[in-house]
């Protein structure tokens, strides 16, 4: 027996995974800005998946959790890792190609480890243990916006590597982070962060000239995006609901 909410949740999971595949392909084709936007859109479908599942009259299934984790592994694990590792047209990255591959591999390994633990043991907790993969993917996008494409500060491979390794470590660190649901203290700040992400990423798809109105809009929104992500990393552990003990 199924209900419409469970079907909608499965469709949202499918959309999430397909957007992740598309993001990987866009990055390999040399269009990382489109890949970043697709990852951000996929986060919306990941949220819809959870919302539809909670509205279903049927209990959650192991298949649903596994399918969701597989989609997340592609979209928020593999796709950001490819963004870190692949820079086909940038001479600044040429001396660092091996390091970029290693950091990308470290990121996807941490994402898979986190999702495996969540699927097997931690899905019932009222909080996340470690930073969730969607937020980690957004953090990678923020780092790239400032230090790779469009390099709002400078093209800095070492800055990207440092950021990628920190984000990877925080995914598997045994630190509680809140689920952004109704009543969560960070719900509205994270909603504002999503708005800033859209304001930063959508104008960039038009490749605005440096200093143009669209470029300045995207740059200003990127700083708001950065502040929002940093607030989750720094304030999240203090707002996580810990109604039951941490396993493992």
With a cut of 50, say whether residue 35 has pLDDT above it: yes
Sign of CA dihedral 182, 135, 112, 25: positive
With a cut of 50, say whether residue 246 has pLDDT above it: no
3-state SS assignment for residue 128:
strand
What backbone torsions phi and psi does residue 175 show, to the nearest 5 degrees? -120, 130
Average pLDDT over residues 16-23: 97
Average pLDDT over residues 226-243: 90
pLDDT at site 247: 36
**Distance (Å, whole) CA 239 – CA 248:** 21
Tell me what percent of the residues of the chain surpass a pLDDT of 90: 70
pLDDT at site 57: 67
Sign of CA dihedral 67, 69, 45, 80: negative
pLDDT tens readout for residues 169-218: 999 999 999 988 878 899 999 999 999 999 999 999 999 999 999 999 99
* Confidence band of 66 (pLDDT split at 50, 70, 90): confident
Specify whether the CB–CB gap between 125 and 118 falls below 8 A.
no
Average pLDDT over residues 130-148: 96
What backbone torsions phi and psi does residue 208 show, to the nearest 5 degrees? -65, 150
pLDDT tens readout for residues 146-159: 999 999 999 999 99
pLDDT at site 62: 62
**Distant-in-sequence, close-in-space partners of 77: CB < 8 Å, separation ≥ 6:** 107, 108, 111, 112, 115, 133
Tell me what percent of the residues of the chain surpass a pLDDT of 70: 92
pLDDT at site 175: 93
Structure tokens at 208: 């605005």
- Provide the mean pLDDT of the chain: 90
Q: Where are the alpha helices (DSSP H) in 3-132?
A: 4-28, 32-55, 62-72, 79-85, 97-117
3-state SS assignment for residue 90:
coil
Q: At what angle do helices 32-55 and 62-72 cross, to 10 degrees?
A: 160
Q: Cβ–Cβ contacts within 10 Å for residue 94, how many?
A: 10
pLDDT at site 235: 95
Structure tokens at 30: 């040399």
Q: Is beta strand 127-129 parallel, antiparallel or unpaired with respect to 176-178?
A: antiparallel
């Amino acid at each position: 027996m199924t209900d419409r909410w469970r079907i909608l949740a499965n469709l949202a999971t499918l959309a999430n995974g397909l957007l992740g595949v598309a993001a990987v392909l866009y990055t390999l084709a040399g269009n990382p800005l489109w890949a970043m936007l697709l990852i951000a859109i996929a986060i919306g479908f990941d949220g819809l998946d959870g919302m539809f599942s909670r509205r279903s009259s049927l209990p959650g299934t192991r298949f649903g959790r596994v399918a969701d984790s597989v989609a997340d592994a592609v979209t928020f694990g593999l796709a950001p890792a490819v963004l870190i590792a692949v820079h086909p047209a940038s001479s600044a990255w040429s001396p660092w190609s091996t390091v970029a591959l290693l950091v990308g591999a470290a990121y996807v390994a941490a994402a898979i480890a986190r999702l495996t633990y969540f699927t097997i043991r931690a899905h019932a907790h009222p909080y996340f243990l470690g930073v969730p993969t969607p937020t980690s993917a957004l953090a990678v996008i923020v780092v790239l916006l400032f230090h790779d494409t469009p390099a709002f500060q400078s093209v800095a491979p070492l800055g990207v590597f440092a950021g990628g390794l920190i984000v990877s470590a925080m995914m598997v660190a045994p630190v509680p982070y809140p689920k952004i649901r109704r009543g969560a203290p960070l719900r509205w700040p994270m909603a504002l962060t999503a708005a800033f992400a859209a304001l930063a990423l959508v104008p960039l798809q038009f490749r605005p000239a440096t200093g143009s109105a669209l470029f300045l809009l995207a740059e200003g929104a990127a700083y708001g995006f950065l502040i929002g992500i940093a607030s989750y990393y720094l304030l999240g552990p203090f707002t996580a609901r810990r109604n039951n003990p941490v396993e493992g």
